[in-house]
Amino acid sequence: MTARVLGVDIGTTAVKAIALDERGRVAATASVPHDGLAPRPGWSEGDPDAWWRGAVAALRQVAENARLDAVAAIGVSGMVPALICLDAAGCLLRPSIQQNDARTEAEIEWLRGRLPADFFAATGQPLSQQLVLPRLLWLRKHEPGVYGRIRRVLGSYDWITHRLTEEWSLERNWALEAGFWDARHDGWYAPALAATEMPEEWLPPARAPHEVVGPLTPWAAAATGLRAGMPVIAGSADHVAAALAAGTGPGELVLKIGGGGDVLYGVDRFAPDPRLYIDYHDLPGRFLLNGCMVTSGALVKWFADVFARDLGEGEARYARLDAEAEATPPGADGLVILPYFLGEKTPIFDAGARGAVTGLTLAHGRGHLFRAVLEAVAYGFRHHVDVLVEGGHPIRVVRIMDRGARSALWRQIVADVLGRPIEYAPGADLGSAWGVAWVAGVAAGCWDWQRSGIPGTPADPPPVVHAPVPEHTARYERQYRLYRGLYPTLRGETR
């Protein structure tokens, strides 16, 4: 099959690539795993060079299954806002500090009295570990040798875009979520730069997702096997590209289970809610209210690595854990887990929050604990749904996507906890790569913005709908109330 556009997604645990044909259908896909770095408790780092190697390998795998000589454009999506620090020669100074890193509690408190009163109105970002601001302050204090050599900062997908083009660029959602961008005036927010004593010269131009950064260089073409000169766009935040793929029209809610968890709801104006983040949508003129949970799939991976090494490796291990969990009743016989294992962002904004397990007895086993982990993430989604409804945002449709959504058990648990039907499209775990590939196609003139919803391949089955089971929903309602009471009770006690 001949490809017209390419998308690459830099994820927490893998780099994914996708090729779409002239009708926007999937022509080929690839996924190359990588490991995150956790040098200390609460820290989350990444190796940008490993992301580049993964992107090269994934694109070469795609080329084995689709013709790429007619590709019109390529785009990259990724985790946001990761912090990559470069020196004057453009060389990496240290591993990336990731968006789910929880080391900056002291810096967040320091910033509270030093940012102006209009910080939230300007940026739409609550003061939390999500911001790049406190991470730069941490570097200035704890790694002054690194901080003193910084001459450029980038995000995850901006780094790959630079490697493809040798041009410097920041996609504007990195700028917004970093806390540096004034959405009211479409420009840098000077008080945030002043708070970290960061020169504006460290920041490349902020571009809309569909803007072309430059052509693919001959060096990058030789590395990836692609055609030199093809346009490379600014790219997209991974969750925003996923929302474009899944569709976020009026009343449509998208739940994304990657390493973290995202709750995405499209709105038509910049109207931030202090309990949520807000992003630019890939669709011009629209925005996304964004709930962001630090751990969802990452919590499942941790559990599997620590407690289920005897169950094999890869997908087989997770399938066996699902089977053990499915053999236990909804509510895990009274177990309730707080999933704040790396602190939490929305809606509580507490980098010092910690995970907790309550209700344990000698009758509980591994299956109960694993089910309680899945249920904990579902309760976190429910908390965000409550926030949206309280904010006057009606929910008509709920869609679930990304790698964690491959689990039919997890999808059903989410439906039961929400008390709402949820839709799952096979192939939705490639939503971020698909979304940014679609943006690249718009930039290249292959199609327009009107189409959304991952079409997959002609052989893909229709979306699966999970209806809530009333008796399960009633049981989860009781458990959810226990869940909501745990954090206020334990706050400050689990640090």
Residue at 87 is within a domain: yes
- In this predicted structure, what is the pLDDT of residue 453? 54
β-partners of residue 154 are 84
Model pLDDT for residues 217-234, shown as the tens digit of each residue: 999 999 999 999 999 999
Model pLDDT for residues 250-303, shown as the tens digit of each residue: 899 999 998 889 999 999 999 999 999 999 999 999 999 999 999 999 899 999
Residue at 442 is within a domain: no
- In this predicted structure, what is the pLDDT of residue 258? 84
pLDDT > 60? residue 455? no
Residue at 124 is within a domain: yes
- In this predicted structure, what is the pLDDT of residue 479? 97
**Structure token pair of residue 117:** 């009163």
Q: Provide the 8-state DSSP code for 205.
A: P
Task: Provide the Cα torsion 494, 379, 287, 420; round to 10°.
Answer: -170
pLDDT > 90? residue 151? yes
Rg (CA), the chain: 21
- The residue-averaged pLDDT of 373-387 equals 98
Please check whether residue 166 is in contact with residue 158, taking contact to mean a CB–CB distance below 8 angstroms.
no
Chain Cα centroid distance, residue 127: 18
Element (H, E) at 32: strand 26-33
Model pLDDT for residues 185-215, shown as the tens digit of each residue: 999 999 999 988 889 999 999 999 999 999 9
- With pLDDT > 90 as the criterion, what percentage of the chain qualifies? 83
- Give the whole-angstrom CA distance, residue 364 versus residue 343: 26
- The residue-averaged pLDDT of 42-60 equals 96
- Give the whole-angstrom CA distance, residue 197 versus residue 206: 19
Residue at 125 is within a domain: yes
- Give the whole-angstrom CA distance, residue 19 versus residue 276: 33
- For 292-346, give the secondary structure using H, E and C: EECCCHHHHHHHHHHHCHHHCCHHHHHHHHHHHHHCCCCCHHHCEEECCECEECC
Residue at 283 is within a domain: no
CATH code of the domain containing 14 = 3.30.420.40
What range defines the domain where residue 110 resides? Answer: 5-238
Residue at 327 is within a domain: no
β-partners of residue 97 are 45, 83
Residue at 207 is within a domain: yes
Q: Is 179 left (phi over 0), alpha (psi -120 to 50) or beta?
A: left
pLDDT > 70? residue 495? no
Residue at 317 is within a domain: no
Domain count, the chain: 1
- Give the whole-angstrom CA distance, residue 189 versus residue 177: 12
pLDDT > 70? residue 411? yes
Strand duo 45-46 + 96-97: pairing: antiparallel
Residue 128: partners with Cβ closer than 8 Å, 6 or more residues away = 108, 345, 349, 351
Confidence of residue 460 (pLDDT cuts 50, 70, 90): low
**Structure token pair of residue 428:** 């939705």
Amino acid in the structure at residue 279: D
**Structure token pair of residue 166:** 């040798």
Using the structure block, give the residue that is written with the tokens 């630079």.
162
**Cis peptide, bond prior to residue 347, ω within 30 of zero:** yes
Please check whether residue 287 is in contact with residue 266, taking contact to mean a CB–CB distance below 8 angstroms.
yes
Could you write out the DSSP letters of every residue in 237-270? EHHHHHHHHH---TTEEEEEESSSEEEEEEESS-
Measured in Å, how far apart are the chain's first and last C-alpha atoms? 54
Q: Is the dihedral of CA 349, 263, 260, 142 positive or negative?
A: negative
**Structure token pair of residue 422:** 């949820």
Q: Which of 66, 151, 4, 10 is nearest to 446 (CA)?
A: 4
pLDDT > 80? residue 7? yes
Please check whether residue 350 is in contact with residue 491, taking contact to mean a CB–CB distance below 8 angstroms.
yes
